[in-house]
Amino acid sequence: MVNIMIPEKCPLKFEKRPETNAMQSLMSTELSTDIEGADIVLAGIPFDLAVTNRSGTRMGPKYMRNTHFWRGVTCDPDLDIRIDNALKIVDCGDFELQMGYLPDGFEKITQQTKRILDAGAVPVIVGGDHSISFPELKAYYLTYGPMALIHFDSHLDTSPNSHPTKQIYTHGSPFSNAIREGYIDGNHVIQLGIRGGFRNRDEQAEYSKKTGREFILARDLHYMSYDEIGEVIRKKVGNMPVFVTFDIDFLDPAYAPGTGTPVVGGFSVHDAIMMLEAALPGLDVKGADLVEVMPYYDYGEVTLNSAQTILQKMVTLIAQNLIIKK
């Protein structure tokens, strides 16, 4: 029989990583409610009162904040630029919202987005369901007038344009509502990656023609080069002030399973960042949002990493434009 000596105290010391309830910042930026002098302001909108399928996107901002992620705001390895030395970029935290009451929630989103715009900064918002783009666009309209729109999504989000009142507010109708209210100029709206949600394709085509919008189906987008995509986007947008909205379900579910309405046949993260790099430089981008991240349906933090990468790319490209203007 072999006697095994067991020390009274283990020489190895294991320390549990400290937990904190304090809010973490997006992209390792400064977390501050003081946005005076900021060039870009990040914010979260934990809102999913308007979903029509899975709920849980209200947890998107917290999910993207409270997870350690190696990508910070200081340097983009692809573009080889540093933006922290030239610009002030802060995270002002989550918008304060009254949950359970849609009109009041929308009004608070408009007010708090307008506060960022009035400070002279570019808002970059993390949602939240896609309905938040509608009250955001109201704030941009009040500041800049009608906006151009670059919309990455698997759905058009213009339903139900055939409804008698045309006033149903869901995450599937922000842009039909925005067109109706005049917040966006349909002649300068382009929607890319569309492959789901068609009830009547002819009706949607007619509505697009009537409003001046252009949409590119996913099957056609797959066959276009990145330079071609960038050229089409830039031609449609022109010199208008631009709002960029990125629904994470633009990506294929292989890259973003954690979302409310996933549709197969989408795009990779590489595709997305190459399209952004081809389209955004030189445009007058006044703001952006990233929506529909749903942690409950994510696994292995796949969606989280995809969303963080897209967010960083949008912020970097917007910052690059601001640096050039300075």
Q: What is the pLDDT of residue 322?
A: 94
pLDDT at 326: 76
Using one digit for the tens of pLDDT, what is the confidence trace for 241-254? 999 999 999 999 99
Encoded tokens for 319: 């910052």
Q: What is the pLDDT of residue 4?
A: 46
Q: Does the predicted model carry a pTM greater than 0.75?
A: yes
d(CA 190, CA 186): 8
Structure tokens at 290: 């990233």
Task: Give 146-197 pLDDT, tens digit per residue.
Answer: 999 999 999 887 776 545 445 577 787 878 889 999 999 999 999 999 997 6
Give CA–CA dist 231/155, Å, rounded. Answer: 22
CA angle 264, 267, 271 (to 5 degrees): 175
Q: Spell out the domains of the chain, with CATH numbers in brackets.
A: 26-325 (3.40.800.10)
- The distance of Cα 144 from the centroid of its chain, to the nearest Å, equals 20
**pLDDT under 50: residue ranges of the chain:** 1-2, 4-19, 162, 164-165
Distance (Å, whole) CA 122 – CA 320: 12
Could you give the residue ranges of the DSSP H alpha helices within the chain?
60-65, 102-118, 133-144, 174-181, 201-211, 218-221, 226-237, 269-279, 302-325
Look at residues 116, 119, 178, 117 and name the one whose alpha carbon lies nearest to residue 149.
178
The identity of residue 234, as a single letter, is R
Q: Which of 182, 26, 47 shows the shortest CA–CA distance to 106?
A: 47
Cα distance between residue 171 and residue 296, in whole Å:
18
